[in-house]
Amino acid sequence: MKCLSLFANVGIGETYFKDVGIDVVVANEFLEDRAEFYQELHPDSKMVYGDITDSTVFDTVVLESKAAGVDFIMATPPCQGMSVAHAKKMVNEERYKTELMLLAESAESYTPEEFHKKAIAWRKNYKETIAKNSLFKQIIRATKELNPKYVLIENVEGMASDNTLIMDDDGNAVKLMDHLVSSLSEDYNVEYKVLNASKYSTPHYRKRCITLISRKDLPQWKHPEPNENHVAVRDVIGDMPSLESGQDSDIKWHSMKHKKHNKHHIKWMKHTPTGKSAFDNALYYPKVRDDGFEERIKDEEYMSKHTEKKQKELRGLRVIVRCDIETREIKGFATTYKRMDWHRPAPAVTMMNGSINSQNNVHPGRIKEDGTFSDARVLTIKELCAIIGLPLDWVDHLEHTKQRENFLRHVLGECFPPMMAKSIVSNIPTLET
């Protein structure tokens, strides 16, 4: 089967496609550094670099795809317009009015200039979000032009939300999935479902909306059945040697030379056990503030002065003071400064995987003779590759520089998990391996 990869990024999702009989013959990517890296990883693919919304680029993609005999499309469009955060904000015009009303109710908190800026900013985000989601129209266009047997669209779970909008041909904001189905319903069956990568041979949790599109003259493509035998963190990085912040090793890309942490963060994590957050450490990490904050958030009169969104934020917040250094207020959640669990799949890998104070990024660690825990750090690139589900030698040929490490952390955090992708495409009915 010949594949066209749209919004290809660096092609991590396609890592195992050849193993199941799929050749990615044409790819398109908008960002130059990603397009170049894609070509390095997939030298046999024709990379069409440029903006797919540009007619010349689109026509080139179609021309190259027809020449190569493309009969399968995989599309992984940018997710900014469908993230949970955006979905909660960008519902519709009615929500926009509601937001303005909430702002108006708390007008005393803002100057007229501040109020105006907030209103304009929300409206701008609303329009930009719909514009980002309109990239899906290019997938629809390509499908109609190429008439492939099957189409796979991968994105964040928010893609399936009723709050995710797109502009239809009449200029109305409509539900994205409704538009996708109606645009292709004459010739294609469309089925979508939110799947968790951890149930498809991937050692980390990652929920993705997987849309399977099948031509009506062919057997319908179904989502694969989940595998309940999770791959745990220990299974993939348990044999890798311990490493501390700033240290290098003899194993290429198993290094913290370019990723040094704050000394206070290191101290806190050294005293934090596997699977726990440093918030649970009363001695070497900040204690809960004792100025009555927790009592106030239980006070209905106090909470009624805030918006519903602010109330939710306050109730979920762990507000603390640093007790081992200077006293000052900082904020964090239960996933902040948290070690992974050896016996479970890793939490979702994000683009912030290089930050020790971000969500669930800290190595599980091993208890030492003095009662402290090793590996007070984030995962190395080598460990991240294993957690993502990539071969351990995936980056061995690359020069290890700080710039390249930062780039890899970013693309690994936004990738389509390759073992998950393999499980999904292996289920194509007419696939010949």
Q: pLDDT tens per residue, the chain (433 residues)?
A: 999 999 999 999 999 999 999 999 999 999 999 999 999 999 999 999 999 989 999 999 999 999 999 999 999 998 654 433 344 444 444 444 455 555 555 555 556 666 566 655 555 555 555 555 678 889 999 999 999 999 999 998 888 887 777 777 777 777 888 889 999 999 999 999 999 999 999 999 999 999 999 999 999 999 999 998 899 999 999 999 999 999 999 999 999 999 999 888 898 899 999 999 887 776 766 555 555 666 677 778 877 888 877 777 777 665 554 444 444 444 566 678 899 999 999 999 999 999 988 888 999 999 999 999 999 999 999 999 999 999 989 999 999 999 999 999 999 999 999 999 999 999 999 875 4
- Are 97 and 204 part of one and the same domain? no
Amino acid at 122: W
Answer whether residue 267 is part of any domain. no
- Are 88 and 106 part of one and the same domain? yes
In angstroms, the Cα distances linking 239 to 76, 205, 223, 386 are: 33, 21, 33, 11
What is the dihedral angle through the alpha carbons of 104, 108, 111, 116, rounded to the nearest 10 degrees?
A: -10
Q: H helices of 198-338, where?
A: 233-237, 263-270, 293-296, 300-303, 308-316
The helix (run of H) or strand (run of E) holding residue 155 is strand 150-156
Beta-sheet pairing, 72-75 with 2-6: parallel
Q: Quote the CA–CA distance of 168 and 307 in Å, as a whole number.
A: 33
Domain housing 183: 2-78+135-229+417-425
- Count how many Cα atoms sit within 13 Å of the Cα of residue 274 in the half-sphere of its side chain: 15
- Are 223 and 190 part of one and the same domain? yes
What is the dihedral angle through the alpha carbons of 300, 303, 307, 309, rounded to the nearest 10 degrees?
A: -100
Give the 3-state secondary structure of residue 337: coil
- Are 140 and 155 part of one and the same domain? yes
Amino acid at 15: T
Locate 353 and state its tokens: 């995987």
In contact, 273 and 365? CB cutoff 8 Å:
yes
Answer whether residue 330 is part of any domain. no
Q: How many CB atoms lie within 10 A of CB 246?
A: 14
pLDDT (0 to 100) of residue 318: 54
Q: How many domains does the chain have?
A: 2
Answer whether residue 335 is part of any domain. no
**Partners of residue 222 on adjacent β-strands:** none
- Are 218 and 102 part of one and the same domain? no
Residue 28 has phi, psi (to 5 degrees) of -130, 135
Q: End of a domain among 130, 145, 164?
A: 130
Q: Quote the CA–CA distance of 49 and 39 in Å, as a whole number.
A: 10
Q: End of a domain among 97, 112, 130?
A: 130
Q: Quote the CA–CA distance of 386 and 431 in Å, as a whole number.
A: 28
- Are 21 and 58 part of one and the same domain? yes
- Are 57 and 92 part of one and the same domain? no
Give the 3-state secondary structure of residue 66: helix
Q: How many CB atoms lie within 10 A of CB 98?
A: 12
Q: Quote the CA–CA distance of 87 and 162 in Å, as a whole number.
A: 9
pLDDT (0 to 100) of residue 390: 97
In contact, 419 and 200? CB cutoff 8 Å:
yes
Q: Quote the CA–CA distance of 224 and 245 in Å, as a whole number.
A: 40
The helix (run of H) or strand (run of E) holding residue 184 is helix 176-184
Locate 221 and state its tokens: 């493509």
Amino acid at 329: E
- Are 90 and 195 part of one and the same domain? no
- Are 69 and 157 part of one and the same domain? yes
Answer whether residue 337 is part of any domain. no
- Are 108 and 34 part of one and the same domain? no
Answer whether residue 45 is part of any domain. yes
What CATH number does the domain containing 175 carry? 3.40.50.150
Answer whether residue 395 is part of any domain. no
* Strand intervals (E) in 160-279: 165-167, 173-175, 188-196, 207-215
Sign of CA dihedral 381, 383, 387, 390: positive
- Are 144 and 225 part of one and the same domain? yes
Nearest to 380 by CA among 388, 372, 369: 388
pLDDT (0 to 100) of residue 131: 55
Answer whether residue 388 is part of any domain. no
Give the 3-state secondary structure of residue 348: coil
- Are 34 and 150 part of one and the same domain? yes
Answer whether residue 52 is part of any domain. yes
Q: End of a domain among 100, 130, 160?
A: 130
The helix (run of H) or strand (run of E) holding residue 129 is helix 112-133
Locate 321 and state its tokens: 């003071």
